[in-house]
Amino acid sequence: MSNGSTPPAPRRRLRGTLLVVVAAVAVVGLGGWLVWRSPGAGGEPPRAGGISGHGTGHRPAGEDGGHGSRGSGPGKGQGSLRGKVVVIDPGHNPHNRDHGREIARQVDIGNSRKECDTTGTSTDDGYAEASFTLDVARRARTLLQKAGAKVVFTQDGDRSYGPCVDKRAAIGNRAHADAALSLHADGSAAGNRGFHVILPARVTAGPADTAAIVKPSRRLGERLADRFHAITGSARSNYIGDGTGLDVRSDLGGLNLSTVPKVFLECGNMRDPKDAAQLTDARWRQKAARGITEGITDFLEH
């Protein structure tokens, strides 16, 4: 064993050999990179995330958003109704009962004259239709606004009475609504159960002309009935509409005087104990709002 300070000759030769090998690898690597970057040899490097310039890459999970019960398909998320106007007409008014003379005034609905408004019905234990319609309307407004829609109310409990049925139609017309919905609950006999949607008939008389809205209103009503049934679990009416949940009428000023697609939704029968149990349940009313929102969304997106 040597004890001098000069390294043995073989170690110097090994170090020199390694330096030559490293330099050669660097030159070869640089040359390959230059060839790969050349115009005819493979194009640009891939973009971060794997999404090409034509948008064909996979989106991150959940990017499209969507309604909770419907999955996350395109167009179902927040903002899918951006630019759309929805008018919601909460039927009656909690203060109508204090303004009997005012709401009894007759107004022109085209083919006849009817009362300005009515007090509406109630459950046997006193839950008023006007309170029900406002609650569901406000819940639906929140969901529709989350989807990007502009929501206009005909009344929000902020009027002393009404407005009259002709004014309710006029509010939707002035707003150029893409869809309008009047919310109600029925006051039929016990045993009559389920919801139904009222569609406008063809009426052309006086200030009424529904010719342009009959077909789109039917589509709105059909979508609404389908989604309302699916989300709430409520049956279609067993006493109106022959099992379809759809009814056509020509005696409602809110429909006769509308120039935009519009329907009425009778959410159930307040005088039937089983229906009343649903209508008075806040959790069910939230489902009703979801069904309404999804029905309107289906109509506006197709």
Catalytic residues: 266
- The string of DSSP codes covering the chain is ----SSPPHHHHHHHHHHHHHHHHHHHHHHHHHHHHHSTTTT-SPPPGGG--TTS-SPPPTTTT---TTT---TT-STTTTTT-EEEEEESS-TTGGG-HHHHHSEEE-SSSEEES-----B-TT--BHHHHHHHHHHHHHHHHHHTT-EEEES-SS-SSS---HHHHHHHHHHTT-SEEEEEEEE---TT--SBEEEEE---EETTEE-TTTHHHHHHHHHHHHHHHHHHH-PPBPSSSSTTSSEEEES--HHHHT-SS-EEEEEEEETTSHHHHHHHT-HHHHHHHHHHHHHHHHHHHH-
